């Protein structure tokens, strides 16, 4: 009897051990699955505070659920030597990224070996096309921070290359996701008849005037008005600031005004509402992470290209002394010029 009891105990112990082993294997498998679900993000360009802000939010152990599953693991710090505000920031931002546990690499190719998705953050829009091409070749879904490029021609080329590679891209200013702007976008005052928005518009000689910083207010304007702008006139406000007015289909009017702050007002069929205020980087980052996970751009190519055509047309209007310039004219010219950049 004692021998029989001993055998039963041994069998029970063996079953318990097997159960524990199976449980451990299951846990390891779950952990492995969770680890594989983690998107490893890389950043190109450490000459903007966006790189630091995005990394802090994504790599926070207590990141909110909508940001979970995406972590910045590597960065390529290239700055622009002919833009002082760019090159001077890089050393400090490199040090901050290292302190956040991000690996600094010496080429885009090395970055792409380590990541699943890419934030193209270089503050200078001119190298974006060149920097994006290896990302497309490596099939890495990419968010391109503003400005999408240093010219409308390059913006057109970026989308054409992305189509050919079958890789989704999107670009946006964080101002698109201002809470009051989104409310109007989603119909809070019905169909919008007219709108004006404001933002600072500091200039950079290497870019069309509004590409560098006016993009913020223009992005807010298009978020409210949507695509469909037909022509643009550029002038000056009473205090000598840049003022650009666009005519939309359906006798709708949208105006961007240079100012110190982010403001605006939209007139709709159901009344009036404030627009154009900033809600910080958080809402944009949520949309970027969603884009990385789904591959679905939240902003259409048409609307993005119209935004940059609006700003390019504003420069052309300035060159013509405030004459009206059509969106179609500048887009046709950019598409023709872009052919040499698309092979």
130-143 pLDDT, tens digit per residue, is 999 999 999 999 99
Tokens of 248: 């939309």
The class level of CATH for 176-341 reads: alpha beta
What pLDDT does residue 259 have?
97
Lowest mean pLDDT among 52-56, 221-225, 339-343: 339-343
What pLDDT does residue 37 have?
66
Lowest mean pLDDT among 7-11, 55-59, 96-100, 309-313: 7-11
Contact 318, 330 (CB under 8 A): no
Residue ranges of the domains in the chain? Answer: 35-174, 176-341
Q: How many residues does the chain have?
A: 343
| Close Cβ partners of 48 (under 8 Å, ≥ 6 residues apart) | 89, 93, 121, 122, 123, 145
146-166 confidence digits (pLDDT tens)? 999 999 999 999 999 999 999
What pLDDT does residue 130 have?
98
pLDDT for 1 beyond 60: no
pLDDT for 58 beyond 50: yes
Of 124, 107, 106, 119, the closest CA to residue 47 belongs to: 124
Third-level CATH fold of 35-174:
Rossmann fold (3.40.50)
Distance of alpha carbon 274 from alpha carbon 184, whole angstroms: 9
**3 state DSSP class of 228:** coil
60 alpha carbon, distance to own chain's centre: 20
**Unique residue bearing structure tokens 């926070």:** 60
Mean pLDDT of the chain: 91
What pLDDT does residue 85 have?
86
pLDDT for 28 beyond 50: no
| Residue of higher predicted confidence among 18 and 255 | 255
339 alpha carbon, distance to own chain's centre: 25
Of 265, 187, 190, 281, the closest CA to residue 220 belongs to: 265
| Close Cβ partners of 148 (under 8 Å, ≥ 6 residues apart) | 125, 128, 154, 155, 158, 171, 304, 308
């Amino acid at each position: 009897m004692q021998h029989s009891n001993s055998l039963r105990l041994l069998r029970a112990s063996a079953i318990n051990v097997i159960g524990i082993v199976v449980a451990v294997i299951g846990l390891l498998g779950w952990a492995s699955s969770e680890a594989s679900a983690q998107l490893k993000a890389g950043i190109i360009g450490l000459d903007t505070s966006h790189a630091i802000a995005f990394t802090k939010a994504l790599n926070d152990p207590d990141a909110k659920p909508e940001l979970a599953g995406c972590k910045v693991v590597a960065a390529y710090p290239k700055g622009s030597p002919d833009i002082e505000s760019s090159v001077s920031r890089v050393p400090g931002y490199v040090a901050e990224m290292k302190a956040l546990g991000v690996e600094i690499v010496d080429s885009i190719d090395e970055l792409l070996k380590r990541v699943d998705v890419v934030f193209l953050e270089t503050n200078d829009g001119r190298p974006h096309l060149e920097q994006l091409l290896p990302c497309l070749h490596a099939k890495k879904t990419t968010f391109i921070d503003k400005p999408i490029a240093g010219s409308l021609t390059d913006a057109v080329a970026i989308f054409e290359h992305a189509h050919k590679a079958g890789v989704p891209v999107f670009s946006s200013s964080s101002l698109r996701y201002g809470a009051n702007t989104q409310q109007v976008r989603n119909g809070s005052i019905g169909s919008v008849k007219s709108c004006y928005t404001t933002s600072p518009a500091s200039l950079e000689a290497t870019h069309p005037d509004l590409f560098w910083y006016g993009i913020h207010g223009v992005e807010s304007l298009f978020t409210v008005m949507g695509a469909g702008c037909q022509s643009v006139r550029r002038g000056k406000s009473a205090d000598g600031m840049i003022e650009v007015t666009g005519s939309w289909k359906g006798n709708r009017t949208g105006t961007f005004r240079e100012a110190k702050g982010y403001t605006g007002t939209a007139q709709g069929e159901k009344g009036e509402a404030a627009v154009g205020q900033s809600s910080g980087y958080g809402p944009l980052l949520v949309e970027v992470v969603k884009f990385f996970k789904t591959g679905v751009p939240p902003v259409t190519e048409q609307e993005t290209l119209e935004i940059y055509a609006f700003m390019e047309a504003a420069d052309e209007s300035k060159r013509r002394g405030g004459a009206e310039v059509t969106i179609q004219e500048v887009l046709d010219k950019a598409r023709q010029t872009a052919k040499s950049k698309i092979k």
